[in-house]
Each structure stands twice: as C-alpha cells, then as structure tokens.
Amino acid sequence: MTLPIANPRPPIANAADRQLSAYDYALPPSAIAQNPVEPRDRSRLFWVKSDIEAEHRAFYELDELLQPGDLLVTNDTRVIPARLYGHKPSGAKVEILLLEQRGARQWSALVKPGKRLKPGATIEFFPASPTDGDTTPLAATVVSSDRDTGGRLLEFDFPEGASFFDLLDRYGEIPFPPYVTESQAQPDRYQTIYAQRDGSAAAPTAGLHFTEALFERLAAKGVARTAVTLHVGLGTFRPVETEDITTHDMHGEWIEVTAAAAEKIAATKARGGRVIAVGTTAVRTLESVAVLGEGEVQPYSGKTELYIYPGYEWQVVDGLITNFHLPKSSLMMLVSAAIGRERLLALYEEALAEGYRFFSFGDAMLIDPAALRSQAIAG
C-alpha cells in the first residue's frame, strides 16, 4: 500500500531552488569519514540555533541543547546483511543488494552485473563465514526485471519454516555505503544502539551518535523518546537525476507508526512540547502520516513516497538531528526545506573549513526549532 499523497508538489518561490545543480558543493575526499569516532557520542555537533546563529558543539552535549518536554523520535529499523555474493551456474560472479521484501520468499534487489540476468536465471550464494565446513548454497531465481528499482525481483529457495533473516546472517554482509572504502569499523557500528526491526539496506545514520549514557542524561533532563520505523531503501539513497528537482520521483519505502507512538507525539504537541526527529527517515515518516491524517499523526503501516524539498509546509517536526549529506541528494533538499538552501550550503562550507567529517560515519547537525522554517515561510 502506498500513501495517497495528499500533498501536491509545492511551488518553489526561488527559481534557483528548482535546479539540481544548485544543491552541489565541493567536497574533498579527505572529508568523507571512513571510520566512526569512539565512543559514538564523541562526534562533533553543528548546532543551528536560529535563523542567524550557529555554534560548534559535541554530540555528547545534546542534553544541554534540548529542553524538558522535548520528544526525540528515532527510527528503530535494523540494517540487514543485504549484500550477497554469488555466481551463476556458468561460474560468472554476481553481487546483489537486497532492497525490499515483496513476499515470503521474494525480494527486489540491485544486481551487478544485471544485463545478463534474465528471468529464469539462477544464482547460488555461499555462506559469508562458513562454520563447521558448511558450504550449503542458498539459491535464488530471477523472476522478472523490476521497473521501479532498475534491478531484479528474486525468489529465494530455502527450507520451509526457516527464517530468511537468520539465513542472511550466514550468507550476507552488512552493506557499508560505497563511499566507505577504507573502513576498519565492525558491522555493529553501522547499527544504531536501538535498532530492532529488520529491513533496511542502509542505516539511519543520524542515530549512530547516541549512547546509553547520553539517553540517560536526556531522560534525567525530561527529554522523552519514542520510535517509528522506516526501512531504508532506494527512496532514501537513489540520486536525484532530473535538473528540475520537482520532477524527481521518490521510490516507496515501508514505514510504520504505532498507536503508542502516535499518542506520545500528540500528547507532546498538546502540552506545547517540541518534536525532534532523529534523522531524515524519521522526518519523512512523521510528515507522511501527518499528510495522511490531515495534519495529525495517526497510526499507519504501509509505504510512503513523500518527497520534501523547499516549499514544503512542516506539519509535525519542530527540529531535527541529521548528518552531512551527499551533494544533489534528496536529503540535501529535505534539509534545505528546513533552513533554506543557501544557508545550508553556507553551513556546509563552514563545517568543511572547521574540519567536520561528512556522510554516514561523520559528524552531525542539530537544527533547533528556532531555526526551522515556519509553515508560513517554508521554502
């Protein structure tokens, strides 16, 4: 099921904001973080305090920057071992990245090389780390090409009653992003400490900075928590390729907001508290269900194709925590909708000058509610 997108694509007041090239910036390779810092909360935090103020802090100081009554909304998805290496009966090597479960045994996947994998082709995968000499292959058959993703729909053959996710732990690997090429990080460092629900092909990286000690200090201050789910897939990391950004189509991603989470968010709003989304995935989940509920967060389980760019009118989110994103990405456009494209680029330039680390294993930014564009001036 896909959300009935009741939000028409908003107009963009500034013509430059429509242009994909306007979301580009120069990024030296040395600024791309290859390894996370230890402990997790020792990363840097660029605090965007207001329309004109910003301050350099550390992530472990987050409890000093939020207020009693604030509600942190995290994404509790868990990255699955979505990258598998196999071969065809001819011996030709095949690499796949699982994107989305389509049935009990079927998954959409990106496949390399894909051109030679026609419907009916078979692939065999072997355990990534064989134990006790176990080399039993896991087999999959190409069902069809997948127009939505440009990949393939695969059907896996495994014993009745077996858990596919348990099999992935043996046959697959956690897929670090392609720009992380020289990392010594262990796979668990590409999971948030609160990851619970299997399903993502990539981590909701704004959450990687949290530690239990930081959560304890936040709770002591009166900052509450709740969780929603968005399984990260192609919609989040597919590049924008149209020069007019308003014509880009987001690929659907599965989300869930439980009744308990919806009630907690509504109660926070009712008492004047602030909803702080941890990551762009939490932002899209909250704003998606608000679109569905005509401004109110409601329980929901299904897909979203919500695309946020300058001109979007915020309905639920008051502030957000986010990492530093790839040039020309839909994530850049979402954050630009929050604080303005020109200001975001200026902040990125300052962050680079100050030695911030970019992308998944890099540093973070806190966009304070005082800095978030109001509905009246969004875009």
Closest listed residue to residue 334, CA positions, set 315, 359, 308: 308
Q: How far is CA 87 from CA 124, 140, 147, 168, 174, in A?
A: 6, 10, 23, 17, 19
Pairing of strands 364-367, 319-323: antiparallel
Distant-in-sequence, close-in-space partners of 165: CB < 8 Å, separation ≥ 6: 80, 198
Distant-in-sequence, close-in-space partners of 122: CB < 8 Å, separation ≥ 6: 88, 89, 139, 140, 141, 142
Residue 262 and residue 286: Cα distance in Å, rounded? 9
Beta-bridge mates of residue 275: 71
Structural domains of the chain, ranges and CATH numbers in brackets: 15-79+186-367 (3.40.1780.10), 83-171 (2.40.10.240)
- The secondary structure element, H or E, covering residue 305 is none
Residue 332 and residue 18: Cα distance in Å, rounded? 13
Closest listed residue to residue 177, CA positions, set 165, 185, 169: 185
pTM for this predicted structure = 0.93
Identify the burial level of 304 via C-beta atoms within 10 angstroms of its C-beta, where 0-12 means exposed, 13-18 middle and 19 or more buried.
Answer: buried
**Contact assessment for residue 231 and residue 100, using Cβ atoms and an 8 Å cutoff:** yes
First to last CA, the chain: 29
Residue 195 and residue 75: Cα distance in Å, rounded? 8
Residues 258-296 have pLDDT tens digits of 999 999 999 999 999 999 999 999 999 999 999 888 888
Closest listed residue to residue 303, CA positions, set 324, 285, 291, 286: 285
**pLDDT < 70: residue spans in the chain:** 1-8, 130-135, 374-379
Q: How many of the other CB atoms lie within 10 Å of CB of 63?
A: 16
**Contact assessment for residue 274 and residue 70, using Cβ atoms and an 8 Å cutoff:** yes
Residue 116 and residue 87: Cα distance in Å, rounded? 12
Beta strands (DSSP E) in 89-217 are 93-101, 106-112, 122-125, 138-146, 151-157, 197-200
* Residue count of the chain: 379
Residue 128 and residue 133: Cα distance in Å, rounded? 12
Alpha helix ranges (H) inside the chain: 62-65, 164-171, 212-221, 234-237, 259-270, 280-292, 330-339, 341-353
The pLDDT, as a whole number, for residue 376 is: 32
